[in-house]
Each structure stands twice: as C-alpha cells, then as structure tokens.
Amino acid sequence: MSPDRAKTPCTTNGFLSLARQRPFDGTGCHRLTTVGIYVLQCGDPCGTGAGGPGYSLPDENLCLDRTRPMFYPAGTIAMANAGPGTNGRQFFIVYRDSALAGAYTIFGKVTAGLDAVRHVPAAGSDPVRDGRPKKPVTVTAVSVA
C-alpha cells in the first residue's frame, strides 16, 4: 500500500505504527460487500467487526457533507468506522469503483495485490451481498511503499 501522509497524517501514522507491531499478520478479513459498494473489510483482531486497538483516531480528509456520496476508485484504502471519530484499526479495500458516503478517511491506495482481492467476491459472502467472505482471506503482512 501507499499511504497519503499529506492528507491523513494521524491515520497514516497510527496505521504504520500498528503495521510495525504486526497485529494485522494472520488476521482474517471479516466483511465482503458485493452489491452497491464493493469493499473487503479487514483489520479486526476478533474477526467480528467489533474489535479495535483500544483507541480512536480523528477523522481526516472527509467531505464537509459526510452523507454525500463520494467516488472511491478501485484500490482505495479507507478506515472503517462506527461513526464520527471512531477510526481505529479496521480498514477496507475498494476492489471495484464504488460510491460511498463521504464519511470514511481515505488514507492510501493498493500498490500491489489488488488482483488477489478481486478474486474473493466470486465465491460470495454469507449472508449474501454483505457478510463474511465465503473464500477465507487472511492478511499475511502489511507492506508500505
């Protein structure tokens, strides 16, 4: 991945700090959406969507109107959240161009491996459209360019 340090210094530094500690290694991606938006969500140590690092990072690089749809091109990496100011360690990878609310801190882009992510949706999710990927996905390492 290539982070956008200029637009998201807090998120980038927080993510890189975590990456150096290697907590993503060996964790599974727990959410795949295949209709409307096209994202694979990862980074939860519990694999449920509820886990985090125990702290929150501020929102960065957002639209003034967080409800307005924004274009997220394939390869975008953004922080998953549970509302304003709740960024932690969960992130999602956009594997196909999508329009999402402007409420997510976009902090980088995939520089290698997007082709592997694009194979995951073919197996589907459980439940269908938005759920756990049927094809298990495990993060082996986070590499930053």
Comparison of pLDDT for 101 and 55, the residue scoring more: 101
Q: What tens digit of pLDDT does each residue of 98-138 get?
A: 999 999 999 999 999 999 999 999 999 999 999 999 999 99
Q: What is the pLDDT of residue 130?
A: 97
String of b and e for 20-53 (b: at least 16 CB within 10 Å)? eeeebeebbbbbbbbeebbbbbbbbbeeeeebbb
**HSE of 34, CA atoms in CB hemisphere, 13 A:** 19
Amino acid at 69: P
Which has the minimum average pLDDT: 86-90, 91-95, 119-123? 86-90
